[in-house]
Chain A
Amino acid sequence: MITKVRPHPSQNEPLLFERSSPGKLAYQLPELDVPPVDAAQTLGAENVRAAIEGFPEVSEVEVIRHFTRLSTWNYAIDHGMYPLGSCTMKYNPRVNEVVARLEGLAWAHPYQPPALAQGSMEVMARLETALAEITGMDAVTLQPAAGAHGELTGILLIRALLEKRGNPRKKILIPDSAHGTNPASAVIAGYAVEHVPSNPAGGLDVAALERIVDADVAALMVTNPNTLGVFEQEIIRVAEILHGKGALLYMDGANMNALMGIARPGDFGVDALHLNLHKTFSTPHGGGGPGAGPVAVKKALEPYLPAPRLKRSGKKWAWDYKRKRSIGRVRAYYGNFGVLVRALAYILAHGGPGLRNVTVDAVLNANYLRRKLEPYFDLPYTAPNMHEVVFSDSRQAQKDVHSGDIAKRLIDYGFHPYTVSFPLIVHGAMMIEPTETEGKRELDQFIEAMTSIAQEVDSDPQTVLSAPHGTRISRVDEVTAARKPILRWKP
C-alpha cells in the first residue's frame, strides 16, 4: 500500500526554444547615461557577430512558468528522504541561503582591497578553525571546489612533501571498495594506482596491505568509515604500517557524518583528508553542484598548501602569497566562498555538542533501518555499521529482480532510490544512508515501502521490473542516448 505519494504531476512543457518567438522579451535595461557607440567601428566589423541564432525569446511570465513546471518534475530533499549511501543528503537549512545573499558578502570582488574584505576573510578564517577542530588536524585550505578537487589537492600535497624528502614515489594504494574519484584523482596527480583488497569482514585487508606497502608507495587513500559504513578497526595499525615505510595516509572524508565529536581523523593517524561541505555540512546539492572540498592537513604538509593563505597582520586579515613551497593554485581566487558561508552557518547553528548529536542521530537512523530491513534483504557484511548500511539484492536476484529494479520501484512509493551497485565489492549493492535529518515517520514509511517491495518481488515481480509506474517519465532508453548522442536542441 503506497501511503506517501499520489501520481506524479504531468505538464507538457516544451523546451525554451520551442516556446520562443521573435520579439518577445523578458528584460528591460535602463537608458544609457552615456552616448552609445557603433559596435562595428569600435570593435572592427569582422569582430561583430550576427544575432545568436536560436537563442530564446520569451516573456517574463513564460520564464517563470517554464522553470516552475520543470521544477515540478524533480524530486528533492524538501519532498522527502534520499537514502543515498555516501551522499549524506541532509536537510539544507534556509537561513544559509539568506546569509549567503547578504549584499556585503555576495557582491565582494575577490580583488577588492583587503581592508574592504575583512568580513569575508574572517568568515573563511573561522571556518578553517572549526574544520581543523572537528577533524583534529593542524591546517585547512578552503580552495578546492569539490570533493574530487580536494582529493587531487591532497595527493598533490603528499607528492610535494615526498619530493622535498627526496623521492615522490610512484604509487597510490586504493581499497577495492573506494569511490571512483579516488583512483581518477591519483592518476591526475601523476601516480599509478594499485588496489588493496578487502577482508571477509569488509574492512581493509591489513595483512595484504603490509605486504604491498613498499618504498614505491606514496600513500594509501582510505575512507573511514569505509563505503560499507564500517569503521576501519585497525586504522591506527594501518597508519603505522604506512608511516613505517615513509608513506602517508590520506582519508576521503565523505563519511565524516559518522565521526563528528566521536573520533577525529587527526587522532587516528591521518595526514591529510578532504571534506565534502555539500555532504556533512549541509550545503545544497542544487541538482549536482556547487560543492566545496576543503583539505585539512597535519603540520608537516602545511607549507605546501595552495597559496595564498590567510594570515593575521596586527588586527586584520591579510592574504599571504609568500608561500615558497606551495603546490600552487588549484583554482582561481580563494574558494567557493558562497558555499563556505553556508557551511559555517550550519556549524554555528549546531555548535560543538550539536555536531556530535548530528552524528549520533545519523548512526541511530542507519542502525534502525538495518534492524528493520535485515529480515527482508541480504546483509553481506555483518560488522557493526555506522551512518550507512549496505545490503545486497542476492535474495531478490533469485527471482531475477535486481538492485536497480527495486530502486526504481521505490520511486513509486515516494522515495528517491538508494545508491545502486556501489561499492563494487558487493554484488547487487543497495547502499542506504538516511542521515540525521530524517524523523521516525519518514524512516517507517521507507521501511514499509522496502518491505512491501520485497513482498512484491515474491508475488508480482513484473510490477517491480517495469517500475516506476507513477512518474511522468518511465524508464529511459540509455542505450540509444549513448549510441546516438543528442546533446543539444536543433531547430
Chain B
Amino acid sequence: MYPDNFRYTKEHEWVRVEGDVGTIGITDHAQQELGDIVYVDLPKQGARVTQGSTLGSVESVKAVSDIYAPVSGEVVGINAVLADAPEKLNADPHGEAWLVRIKLSAPPELEKLLSAADYQAYIGAEK
C-alpha cells in the first residue's frame, strides 16, 4: 500500500525522489480522512518552499486541510489533472494524483522523513 521508495511525513505527505527532483503527494490515509475531495489549491510554478511550510490545501465539502512541503526547493511542476478532476486524489493518491514536483535545494532533509514502515506504524498508532 505504501511504496517503499517513497518517504513520508507525519502530516501525511509523501515524496518520491528521482535525481534532484522530488514528486510530492498526499497519502492514501489522508485522502480517506478527507472524504470526497472537491478542490486542490496548489502553488505556482517557480514558487519557493521550505520544509514544513504550507504548500497549498486540499478541500472536501466540509473541511480544508493544509499541505506542508516535505522538502525545501523550487516548484518545477504542477499536476494539471487535478484542476478538472480533483476526485483522482481519492482514486490514486500515490500515482496519477501527485501534486507538485520540487527541485530539491537541500537533499539531506530527506533523512528527517519517515520510511514506509515507520509511516505505517505511525498511522497504526494514531488510530
Q: Quick check: do A and B touch in the complex, using CB within 8 A?
A: yes
Interface segment, A144-152, A224-232, A476-484?
Answer: A476-484
CB distance from A476 to the nearest CB of B (A): 11
> Per-position contact with A for B61-73: 1 when CB-CB < 8 Å, else 0?
1100000000000
CB distance from A242 to the nearest CB of B (A): 30
Q: List, in ascending order, chain A residues with CB within 8 A of B62's CB.
A: 421
Q: Of residues 250 to 272 in A, which have CB atoms within 8 Å of B's CB atoms? A: none
Q: List, in ascending order, chain A residues with CB within 8 A of B60's CB.
A: 479
B38: Cβ under 8 A from any A Cβ = yes
CB distance from A184 to the nearest CB of B (A): 13
Q: List, in ascending order, chain B residues with CB within 8 A of A482's CB.
A: 38-39, 59, 61
B86: Cβ under 8 A from any A Cβ = yes
> Per-position contact with B for A149-172: 1 when CB-CB < 8 Å, else 0?
000000000000000000000000
Nearest opposing residue in chain B for A420, CB measure: B62
> Per-position contact with A for B33-72: 1 when CB-CB < 8 Å, else 0?
0001011000000000000000000011110000000000
> What's the dominant secondary structure at chain A's contact region?
helix
> What's the dominant secondary structure at chain B's contact region?
loop
Q: Which of B38, B39, B62, B86 counts the most chain A CB atoms within 10 A?
A: B38
CB distance from A352 to the nearest CB of B (A): 43
> Per-position contact with B for A456-491: 1 when CB-CB < 8 Å, else 0?
000000000000000000000011001100000000
Q: Of residues 71 to 113 in B, which have CB atoms within 8 Å of A's CB atoms? A: 86-87
Q: List, in ascending order, chain B residues with CB within 8 A of A483's CB.
A: 38-39, 86-87
Q: Of residues 192 to 221 in A, which have CB atoms within 8 Å of B's CB atoms? A: none
A479 to B87, CA, bound (A): 10
A479 to B62, CA, bound (A): 10
A242 to B59, CA, bound (A): 37
A421 to B59, CA, bound (A): 18
A374 to B21, CA, bound (A): 57
> Per-position contact with B for A76-93: 1 when CB-CB < 8 Å, else 0?
000000000000000000
CB distance from B83 to the nearest CB of A (A): 11
A378 to B17, CA, bound (A): 48
Nearest opposing residue in chain B for A483, CB measure: B38
A184 to B118, CA, bound (A): 37
Q: List, in ascending order, chain A residues with CB within 8 A of B61's CB.
A: 478-479, 482
CB distance from A349 to the nearest CB of B (A): 39
Q: List, in ascending order, chain B residues with CB within 8 A of A478's CB.
A: 61
Q: List, in ascending order, chain A residues with CB within 8 A of B87's CB.
A: 483
Q: List, in ascending order, chain A residues with CB within 8 A of B36's CB.
A: 479
CB distance from A485 to the nearest CB of B (A): 9
CB distance from B49 to the nearest CB of A (A): 22
Nearest opposing residue in chain A for B85, CB measure: A483
Nearest opposing residue in chain B for A404, CB measure: B62
Nearest opposing residue in chain B for A421, CB measure: B62
CB distance from A381 to the nearest CB of B (A): 23
A131 to B36, CA, bound (A): 46
A169 to B57, CA, bound (A): 30
A421 to B62, CA, bound (A): 11
A421 to B39, CA, bound (A): 22
CB distance from A364 to the nearest CB of B (A): 34
A482 to B39, CA, bound (A): 8
Q: Of residues 20 to 38 in B, which have CB atoms within 8 Å of A's CB atoms? A: 36, 38
CB distance from B74 to the nearest CB of A (A): 28
A482 to B38, CA, bound (A): 6
> Per-position contact with B for A316-329: 1 when CB-CB < 8 Å, else 0?
00000000000000
Q: List, in ascending order, chain A residues with CB within 8 A of B59's CB.
A: 482
CB distance from A116 to the nearest CB of B (A): 51
A482 to B60, CA, bound (A): 8
A483 to B86, CA, bound (A): 7
CB distance from A322 to the nearest CB of B (A): 45
A51 to B61, CA, bound (A): 38
CB distance from A150 to the nearest CB of B (A): 26
A482 to B34, CA, bound (A): 14
A50 to B110, CA, bound (A): 61
CB distance from A30 to the nearest CB of B (A): 50
A311 to B36, CA, bound (A): 56
A478 to B38, CA, bound (A): 9
CB distance from B71 to the nearest CB of A (A): 27
Nearest opposing residue in chain B for A482, CB measure: B38
CB distance from A406 to the nearest CB of B (A): 17
CB distance from A340 to the nearest CB of B (A): 35
Q: List, in ascending order, chain B residues with CB within 8 A of A479's CB.
A: 36, 38, 60-61
Can you list 14 A-B pairs, Cβ within 8 angstroms, ordered by A?
A421-B62, A478-B61, A479-B36, A479-B38, A479-B60, A479-B61, A482-B38, A482-B39, A482-B59, A482-B61, A483-B38, A483-B39, A483-B86, A483-B87
Which residues of B does A touch, CB under 8 Å?
36, 38-39, 59-62, 86-87
Closest 4 CB pairs of A and B: A482-B38, A479-B36, A478-B61, A483-B38
Known: A478-B61, A479-B36. 7 other contacts (CB 8 A): A421-B62, A479-B38, A479-B61, A482-B38, A483-B38, A483-B39, A483-B87
